[in-house]
Amino acid sequence: MTASTKPIPRAGVMEIAAYVPGKEHAGGVSRVFKLSSNETPLGPSPSAIEAFQAAASKLEIYPDGQARLLRDVIAEVHGLNPANILCGNGSGELLALLANIYLGPGDEGIITEHGFLLYRIQILASGGTPVTVPETDRRVDVDAILAAVTERTKMVFLTNPGNPTGTYVPYADIKRLHAALPANVILVLDAAYAEYVRRNDYEAGIELVSANRNVVMTRTFAKVYGLAALRIGWIYGPAEIIDTMNRVRGPFNINTPALLAGAAAMRDQTHVAKAVEHNQVWLARVSEALTALGLEVTPSVTNFILIHFPDQNGKRAADADAFLTAHGFVLRAVSSYGFPNALRMTIGSDEANTGVIAALTEFMERT
């Protein structure tokens, strides 16, 4: 066997297009509203900020590698057993660990047409094969997922509610999907935006996880909790799966400021309720205002909307993106999610939302 003359990455790695985060800047504009990463305009709970600052006095000490306090608080608020919770450096770390542990060469991971881009990256990084199934009218199609299952399928990744679509799969369909999956296939319910959903037929998946050995639910502190900078996510899963992840993860994967701020944020459910209320009001207002301008907005249950632009010179998504950016409003281009003529807008502060409506009114009216 001839040795290679240079280091060679695992098969699949060079097929990965690196994740591109939402833009932060609007070159030259002094006041910028970042509406590109689904961050909350309310910021974190004041008690989380206090906890974070207090942590500065003991930076020489390693964090609690078991994240006991944070897991206990999450468990208390959600009515769960802390033994079934694992915290991660963002839910992204947990998704990566799952793929790394349960997929290898020859294994397939099912993802959906407009699902979160990280799944494909992690499946390829693990040496597995991503299998993309179509969505129907920007909604996850449970039957399309089931039709794609083969004996090589090891995981199904589902963003519910969806990003960037903002649509959701009713719980009855999630249960039907799970019931039809082979017992060795892990169903990953990525519920990063669950807190925002106000629908009676939606469930993040806690009951399904509790009753089965092959379902997990991931959550994040980056969205409604306003702690994106600290990178905290958590997973609720069966004991055997949590055990495998504990074996592979970094021993101190969450830092102390994050552990303390996360626990304080989780305890302040009044702040969460405020953020959800703000979102409810503005989600409806922005959606209605943009629809009145003749733009199509995919109905959303989250803290962002997908805005579709006319297929007309000067009025396309790229034109709107340039126009909005010049006015200081940074939205997310979503071509890589299969929407070349749409932009995703995070619901922002009163000022940001009013500003986007005014700017898009001008954009649509100009000739």
Ligand X SMILES: Cc1ncc(COP(=O)(O)O)c(C=O)c1O
Q: Interface residues with ligand X (CB under 6 A)?
A: 38, 90-92, 116, 159, 163, 190, 192, 220, 222, 228, 233
Residue that the structure tokens 């608080």 belong to: 73
Among the listed residues 239, 331, 243, 251, the one whose alpha carbon sits nearest the alpha carbon of residue 26:
331
- Nearest to ligand X by Cβ — which residue? 90
**Smallest distance, Å, CB 312 to ligand X?**
30
Q: Give the nearer residue to ligand X in terms of CB position, either 39 or 327.
A: 39
In the DSSP assignment, the letter for residue 201 is T
CB of 165: closest distance to ligand X in angstroms?
10
Closest separation in Å from C-beta 90 to ligand X? 3
* Exposure string for 253-269, b = 16+ CB within 10 A, e = fewer: bbbbbbbbbbbbbbbbe
Write down the least CB distance from residue 233 to ligand X, Å: 4
Euclidean distance between CA atoms 205 and 10, whole angstroms? 34
CB-nearer residue toward ligand X: 38 or 256: 38
Which residue's CB is nearer to ligand X, number 174 or number 289?
A: 174
The residue among 192 and 245 lying less far from ligand X, judged by its C-beta, is 192
Least CB distance from residue 235 to ligand X, whole Å?
A: 11
Choose between 174 and 360: whose C-beta lies nearer to ligand X.
174
Q: Name which of 187, 207, 348, 337 is nearest 282 in CA terms.
A: 348
Report helix, strand or coil for 111.
Answer: strand
Helix axes 239-248, 91-102, angle to 10 degrees: 100
